Amino acid sequence: MEDMILYNRLQFAFTITFHYLFPQLTMGLSLMIVYFKWKFLRTNMLHYNDAAKFWMKIFALNFAMGVVTGIPMEFQFGTNWAKFSELTGGIIGQTLAMEGMFSFFLESSFLGMFIFGEKLLGHKLHFVAGLMVFIGSWASGFLIIATHSWMQHPVGYEILENGKFVLNNFKALFDNPWLWPSFLHNQAGSLITSSFFMAAVGAFYLLSGLHKPFGKIFVKSGVIFGFIASVLVAFPTGDMAAKNVVKYQPVTFAAMEGIFETEDGGSEIVLIGQPDMEKKKLDNKIAVPNILSFLTYQRWDAQIKGLNEFDEATHPTNVPALYYSYHIMAGLGTIFIAVMGIAVFLLWRKKLYESNWLLWILMFLIPFPYIANTAGWYTAELGRQPWLVYNLMRMVDGVSPTVSSGNTLFTFLGFIGLYLLLGLLFLMLVIKIIRKGPESQLSLN
């Protein structure tokens, strides 16, 4: 049973990690495409329209990859997690079906119109098509996170005699206090990915001397959007999400922060340290006294419960992995604010485009928002363990009883091979689009 649970978790973790590489770019990029199209309508400067169409090509490729890699996850609810689907399908099926029927079709339909229908629609309706793609992509994220939020903080349900969960308050799904902070935090993270991606492409153009006018547009837009998103992902969205964890999952918060013992007189915030699970302490830690208490409760002396206050059976399954995931996310988020803050300052001083050292940094930072977003999702998922539905259903109660560990391991290895090939194909196509660059309708000299 332990092997079966492990392989099921590894397979789903791998497939969803690979899948989310694509939506996190498309959700943020959809907003920036709408911005470029709006700038074109406002200024009548054609290079903004060219920029919107260029980035929609990359959006469309990401969207296609997201669809291809997302479908297998739907099947895994039935193959790997059949008991979970059987017992909770009456609730999670609501939001997942809405995501597929409404958001996906809205996004995909108007994506085709935006790519192929500019001449037929005219520029104003073309802008509306882009706006609908943006709404569809963000609505899709909202409904997925509504599902996730119910698993983190179940609301509006009752349990029948046969053990099945049924929804007795549909509105509660969208009034869930866990939902909006998680959604806004996630979307800010997506915007960071798209902003850094755009700034990196612009930096590449400026450093290589290719498409330099577009390089300036992409660097400027990426830096401005990136700085705003980097601040928002920390405050207020990250702060709200963290306070939800404190309120509804205090044992998770203690594990995230590496608090093993409850301390009187205020809790320190740990910058660096390694959890020692045998001795129940952090090794080699560097910490700032009382800061965590102030950030959490706005009081320097507020007490935060340690893991020692909770039954060990309720502790997250893998405390070190949770701790490191959280600190990777938070550490990278701090670096993002610093880098984009410097870039905005140099942009204001009109020195950014000539600051080759910073352009190189922007270009090589391109994978780190993906790492930060992935670490953020790992924090949420590892923090909920050992529960599938927090405090109501454990992992062991949700797996498929008739699927052997050998079958799961075999398909897991198959997914790894197939997704590596898809990943290489995707990189080749993206690099080809970037090297070709935007198709300009006029000279931009």
Residue 28 lies in a domain: no
pLDDT at 102: 87
Distance, CA of 128 to CA of 4 (rounded, Å): 48
- pLDDT at residue number 37: 97
All residue ranges of the chain with pLDDT < 70 are 1, 441-445
**Token pair of 66, please?**
């997201």
Domain count, the chain: 1
Length of the chain: 445
Question: What's the gap between Cα 13 and its chain centre?
Answer: 14
In a domain, residue 72? The reply is no
| Continuous segment of H or E residues that includes residue 138 | helix 123-152
Which residues 6+ apart lie within 8 Å of 288 measured at CB?
268, 269, 271
pLDDT score for 444: 41
| CB-facing half-sphere around the CA of 238: CA atoms within 13 A | 21
297 inside domain: yes
Q: Is 256 left (phi over 0), alpha (psi -120 to 50) or beta?
A: alpha
pLDDT tens-digit readout, 216-244: 999 999 999 999 999 999 999 999 999 99
Q: What does the pLDDT read at residue 208?
A: 96
What pLDDT, on a 0 to 100 scale, did the predictor assign at position 404? Answer: 87
pLDDT given at position 5: 87
Beta strands in 61-103 (DSSP E): none
Task: Say if 380 falls within a structural domain.
Answer: yes
Give the pairing of strands 165-167 and 393-394: unpaired
Full 3-state SS string of 190-239: HHHHHHHHHHHHHHHHHHHCCCHHHHHHHHHHHHHHHHHHHHHHHCCHHH
Q: What pLDDT does 392 receive? A: 96
Would you state the pLDDT for residue 4? 84
- Residue 23 domain-assigned? no
DSSP 258: T
SS3 252: helix
Domain containing 209 equals 179-403
CA distance 365 to 346: 18
For helices 46-79 and 23-43, what crossing angle results, to 10°?
Answer: 160
- In a domain, residue 379? The reply is yes
Calpha distance 94→40 (Å, rounded): 39
337 in a structural domain? yes
Q: Is residue 70 part of a domain?
A: no
CA distances from 408 to 10, 80, 295, 334, 413 (A): 9, 8, 43, 38, 9
